[in-house]
Amino acid sequence: SQQGEEDPQALSIQEGENATMNCSYKTSINNLQWYRQNSGRGLVHLILIRSNEREKHSGRLRVTLDTSKKSSSLLITASRAADTASYFCATDEGGSQGNLIFGKGTKLSVKP
């Protein structure tokens, strides 16, 4: 079952600009995570936000969570060419032993 759906599917920006990616999900969750994947490589965890949190920061990353709208956003500020990657949101299914379900991802291209 596909839980998270990212939007847009692809995003192309210039270095220095901000990049915003959105994720919508269907069922109630305990936590939502964002991961990054460089082309064809393994996923790397970026940030986890709990259902009782509304915003979280980590370096140039800012994540928001709106449980009433079942949506989250990932903002990358002052983007760099090295930020070029695919970004995925992942959610549990709300249960105590829920699976980690990924969306299809946003492909971000940052041009120097």
Give residues in contact with other proteins (CB under 8 A).
Answer: 1-2, 29-31, 33, 35, 40-45, 48, 88, 90-93, 96-105
Q: How many CA atoms lie within 13 A of 13 on its CB side?
A: 23
Judged by CB, which is closer to other proteins: 2, or 14? Answer: 2
Judged by CB, which is closer to other proteins: 29, or 85? Answer: 29
Query: Running DSSP on this structure, what letter comes out for residue 27?
Result: S
Taking the complex as a whole, the smallest distance from the CB of residue 50 to other proteins amounts, in Å, to: 9
Taking the complex as a whole, the smallest distance from the CB of residue 89 to other proteins amounts, in Å, to: 10
What would the DSSP string read from start to end of 53-74? -SEEEETTEEEEEETTTTEEEE
Taking the complex as a whole, the smallest distance from the CB of residue 48 to other proteins amounts, in Å, to: 6
Q: Which of 101, 87, 110, 112 is nearest to 8 (CA)?
A: 87
Judged by CB, which is closer to other proteins: 82, or 100? Answer: 100
Judged by CB, which is closer to other proteins: 40, or 112? Answer: 40
Residues 6+ apart with CB under 8 A from 89: 4, 6, 23, 25, 32, 33, 34, 35, 72, 74, 102, 103
Taking the complex as a whole, the smallest distance from the CB of residue 112 to other proteins amounts, in Å, to: 26
